[in-house]
C-alpha cells in the first residue's frame, strides 16, 4: 500500500515527538550516572552535566567498603521477592471472585476496596496496630501492610472480567472446579497482566523506604533505600562537624559528597530493575485473548 505525503509527515512528527520524550526520560538517568562517577569537588563546582568529571569510583567504594552493602542488597531481594509473591497470590484470590457477577454483595465489596484508595487509617494507627500484633522488627510488618494494592486488584479484576464466559462454561461442562478454572484457564490467559502487576509490586517493594524505617529497628534488617539515606545523612553530619572517622577521611579528600553517594545508590538500586525489565516487557503488548476464541 502506497503511503501518502500526509501519512509520511504524520509518522515523521510522531517519531520526532517520541524521540524527544525518550531523550527527556533518559537524560536524568545519564546525569545520575555521571554524578556517581564524578569527584565531589567537580559536583560542588557544578561542572557535572552528562559526562563524569574527574572520573572516580569513590562513591561506590564508600557504599561497598564503609557498609555491608551485600547484606542490605540481600535484604532488599528477600523483601521484594517474598512480598511480590504474597501480593500476587492474594491479589489474584481477591480479584477472581470479584470478577464473577454471581458473587453475593459483589458491588458492595468492590466499593469497600475502592474506599480504601480514598481514605486510610493513617500512619500512626497502622504503626500502633503493627506494634500491638508483635510484628515490629519483622518483615511481616512490611508484607502484611502492603499485601494488596486496591489499584492493582482492580486491574486484575477488570482483566478477568474480559475473559470470555464461553471458555469458563466449556470448562465447567468438562467437570473443572473453580480452582482448576483459575489455575489452568484464567492464569495462563493472563500472563500479560500478571507480568505487569509483578513489576508494579516488585518496584514498590524494592523502593520501599518509610515502612522499613518505621517497622525495622535492627540495622541488620535494613534495605538498600535505608542504607543510602543513612550514608547521605552521615556525610551531611560530617559537614557539620560529625565524628565518623572512616567517612570523614574519605569526605576530606574531596572525592565524595552526599550527592555522589546518593547518585551511586540510585544506580545500584535501578540496575536489578533494568536487568529484570527486558524479560517482562514482551508481555505488556501481548494480547490476552489472542487465539483463545475464534469465530
Residue by residue, pLDDT tens for the chain (295 residues) are 677 788 888 888 999 999 999 888 888 889 888 988 888 788 878 888 888 888 888 888 877 776 778 888 899 999 999 999 999 999 999 999 998 888 888 889 999 988 988 888 788 888 999 999 999 999 999 999 999 999 999 989 988 888 888 888 888 888 888 888 888 888 888 888 888 888 889 989 998 988 998 999 888 888 988 888 877 777 776 655 555 555 555 555 556 777 788 888 888 888 888 888 777 777 655 543 443 444 3
* Residue 87 falls inside a structural domain: yes
**pLDDT at site 93:** 93
Residue 246: name the closest of 235, 236, 254 by CA.
Answer: 235
* Residue 13 falls inside a structural domain: no
Question: Within a 10 A sphere around the Cβ of 57, how many other Cβ atoms?
Answer: 13
CA–CA separation, 260 vs 40, rounded Å? 7
Q: Are 237 and 244 in contact (CB under 8 A)?
A: yes
* Residue 244 falls inside a structural domain: no
Q: How many domains does the chain have?
A: 1
Q: What angle do CA 146, 220, 140 make, to 5 degrees?
A: 25
**pLDDT at site 41:** 80
Q: 143-152 burial string, b = 16+ CB within 10 Å, else e?
A: beebebbbeb
* Residue 169 falls inside a structural domain: yes
* Residue 88 falls inside a structural domain: yes
* Residue 139 falls inside a structural domain: yes
Question: Given CA atoms 227, 281, 34, 21 in this order, what sign does their dihedral have?
Answer: negative
**pLDDT at site 55:** 85
Identify the CATH number of the domain in which residue 170 sits: 1.10.3720.10
CA–CA separation, 288 vs 190, rounded Å? 6
Predicted model pTM: 0.81
- Entry field: residues in the chain: 295
**pLDDT at site 91:** 94
CA–CA separation, 253 vs 118, rounded Å? 50
* Residue 24 falls inside a structural domain: no
**pLDDT at site 294:** 40
* Residue 248 falls inside a structural domain: no
Domain span at 106: 77-211
**pLDDT at site 290:** 40
Question: Within a 10 A sphere around the Cβ of 234, how many other Cβ atoms?
Answer: 20
Amino acid at each position: 500500500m502506497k503511503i501518502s505525503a500526509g501519512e509520511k509527515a504524520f509518522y515523521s512528527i510522531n517519531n520526532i515527538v517520541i524521540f524527544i520524550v525518550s531523550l527527556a526520560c533518559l537524560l536524568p538517568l545519564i546525569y545520575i550516572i555521571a554524578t556517581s562517577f564524578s569527584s565531589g569537588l567537580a559536583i560542588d563546582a557544578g561542572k557535572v552535566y552528562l559526562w563524569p568529571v574527574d572520573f572516580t569510583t569513590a562513591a561506590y567504594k564508600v557504599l561497598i567498603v564503609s557498609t555491608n552493602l551485600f547484606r542490605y542488597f540481600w535484604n532488599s531481594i528477600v523483601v521484594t521477592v517474598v512480598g511480590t509473591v504474597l501480593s500476587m497470590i492474594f491479589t489474584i484470590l481477591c480479584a477472581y471472585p470479584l470478577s464473577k457477577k454471581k458473587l453475593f454483595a459483589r458491588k458492595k465489596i468492590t466499593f469497600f476496596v475502592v474506599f480504601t484508595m480514598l481514605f486510610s487509617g493513617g500512619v500512626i494507627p497502622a504503626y500502633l496496630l503493627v506494634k500491638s500484633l508483635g510484628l515490629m522488627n519483622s518483615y511481616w510488618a512490611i508484607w502484611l501492610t502492603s499485601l494488596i494494592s486496591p489499584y492493582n486488584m482492580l486491574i486484575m479484576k477488570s482483566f478477568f472480567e474480559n475473559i470470555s464466559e464461553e471458555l469458563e462454561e466449556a470448562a465447567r461442562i468438562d467437570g473443572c472446579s473453580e480452582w482448576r478454572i483459575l489455575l489452568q484457564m484464567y492464569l495462563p490467559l493472563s500472563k500479560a497482566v500478571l507480568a505487569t502487576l509483578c513489576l508494579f509490586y516488585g518496584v514498590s517493594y524494592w523502593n520501599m523506604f518509610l515502612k522499613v524505617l518505621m517497622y525495622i529497628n535492627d540495622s541488620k534488617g535494613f534495605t538498600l533505600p535505608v542504607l543510602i539515606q543513612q550514608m547521605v545523612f552521615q556525610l551531611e553530619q560530617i559537614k557539620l562537624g560529625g565524628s565518623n572517622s572512616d567517612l570523614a577521611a574519605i569526605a576530606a579528600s574531596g572525592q565524595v559528597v552526599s550527592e555522589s553517594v546518593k547518585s551511586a545508590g540510585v544506580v545500584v538500586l535501578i540496575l536489578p530493575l533494568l536487568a529484570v525489565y527486558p524479560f517482562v516487557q514482551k508481555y505488556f503488548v501481548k494480547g490476552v485473548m489472542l487465539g483463545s476464541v475464534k469465530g
